[in-house]
Amino acid sequence: MKILFVDLEGEWRGGQSQALLALRGFREAGHHAELVGLARGALAGRAQSIGITAQAIPPRAARLAAAGKIRAALERERYDIVHANEPHALTAAWLAGAHKRAALIASRRVALPLKKSRVALARYRAAQRIIAISHFVAESMRASGLAQSIAVVHDGVEIPPLPDATKRGAARRIWGVEENQFLLGCVSYLLPEKGQKHALEALSIVKKYLPSTRLLLAGDGPCREELERHTRELGLKEGVIFAGHLEDVASVYRALDLFLFPSLAEPLGSSLLTAMAHGLPVVALESGGVPEVVRNGRDGLLVNETRPDYLSHALANAVLDILRKPELARALGAAARETIAERFSARRMAEETLRVYEEAKALKMGGASGGRTG
């Protein structure tokens, strides 16, 4: 198949990581894939570095510029699939009339309900298939009247080699963490819904019992200043590491003893998948798409608590349960890694996406010959 993949996000987040893994997987499976992305954007640069052709769009008026680029590409060559990886990309593909010339695929990575405006719904209804990253996200799409075209394809991640003691020690030295200290970690954009405030409050409770415990927050965002202030209010300044945005985030996972995922309504969680792939025991809230990944007591611990006043205590209790039981930590980490290998690998994600493409292509061809296009 010939695939035109469109992503107009400038920052590097979960969706862009998945895009790069998918593009690599398509190529390894023998398909031709190109990217339409922002000039100097994080995804375009990484795609070009692995040999993917990237058609660059200036950030200013990106949707209109991308629409023109997509239209020109479809007039110049025949593509089987146009895949819009985020809403701006979908708007551009729709404006370009991509659905009239190829099978249009739209990714949906958030569980927010769609706007009821005619234009907002028309973009998604033009797609042969909508790929939801979890059943949780798919339910929100069905509530918008789009059930007939939804396919669930969970995100996937690569399975890294487990670090030996030397690499683990080197990673911990980056952050000034001693071998006898417990290091919790959370990798996420700093937003209220990501729950880092609850992670800080849980740490303050954990440290009453295990004083050497520290927390590493990797990522940046609008809540950083507020979280730093809350850290000082809790008397945790020496116990919390604000790592900011990192290019080599793998060094964080190698350094950790436990991964904490306090997101309040996560569609799925790329960083959660990555932590599990690194063989880390995880503690997460039982919300959003997280229960589709973590099976409580088998490959992680889930906290089922919706009362804000009790949430931090519930997280702390789960963390203490793991840190006090090395055998449990090892068992959960090993099971987590197996779960990713079996159900959430990057290869599996790319293969399932290609199957959706094949279905959409067949649907489109059927419509072109007089059949139903959906």
Over range 167-193, report the average pLDDT: 95
Instruction: Please say whether the structural domain 165-343 has been given the CATH code 3.40.50.920.
Output: no
Task: For residues 301 and 54, give the distance between their C-alpha atoms in angstroms, rounded to a whole number.
Answer: 41
What pLDDT is attached to residue 239?
A: 97
DSSP state of 157: B
What pLDDT is attached to residue 353?
A: 98
What pLDDT is attached to residue 309?
A: 84
Q: How far is CA 58 from the centre of its chain?
A: 25
Give every CB contact of residue 100 below 8 A, 6+ residues apart in sequence.
none
Buried b (16+ CB within 10 A) or exposed e, 333-349: bebbbebbeeebbbbbb
| Model confidence at 126: pLDDT above 80 | yes
For domain 2-156+345-368, the CATH superfamily is Glycogen Phosphorylase B; (3.40.50.2000)
pLDDT band at 371 (very low <50, low <70, confident <90, very high): very low
pTM above threshold 0.75: yes
| Domain ranges (residues) in the chain | 2-156+345-368, 165-343
Task: Provide the token pair at 35.
Answer: 């990217």
Ramachandran category for residue 329: left, alpha or beta (phi over 0 → left; psi -120 to 50 → alpha) = alpha
What pLDDT is attached to residue 368?
A: 57
| Model confidence at 17: pLDDT above 80 | yes
Task: For residues 74 and 105, give the distance between their C-alpha atoms in angstroms, rounded to a whole number.
Answer: 15
What pLDDT is attached to residue 370?
A: 41
Listing DSSP states for 184-231 in one string gives EEEES---GGGTHHHHHHHHHHHHHH-TT-EEEEEB--TTHHHHHHHH
Over range 101-129, report the average pLDDT: 89
Going edge to edge, which strands form the sheet with 54-57?
54-57, 32-38, 2-7, 81-84, 103-108, 129-132, 150-152
Over range 123-150, report the average pLDDT: 91
Q: What are phi and psi of 185, to 5 degrees?
A: -145, 150
* CA-CA-CA-CA dihedral for 194, 299, 303, 193, to nearest 10: 10
Quick: pLDDT tens for 246-304.
988 999 999 999 999 999 989 999 999 999 999 999 999 999 999 999 999 999 999 99
* CA-CA-CA-CA dihedral for 141, 144, 146, 147, to nearest 10: 60
Buried b (16+ CB within 10 A) or exposed e, 141-159: beebebeebbbbbbbbbeb
Q: Over the chain, what is the mean pLDDT?
A: 94
- Taking alpha carbons only, the member of 24, 100, 102 closest to residue 360 is 102
Q: Are the folds of 2-156+345-368 and 165-343 the same?
A: yes
Contact 57, 65 (CB under 8 A): yes
* CA-CA-CA-CA dihedral for 242, 247, 253, 259, to nearest 10: 50
Task: For residues 102 and 360, give the distance between their C-alpha atoms in angstroms, rounded to a whole number.
Answer: 9
Least-confidence region, from 80-89, 284-293, 360-369: 360-369
- Taking alpha carbons only, the member of 223, 201, 4, 3 closest to residue 92 is 4
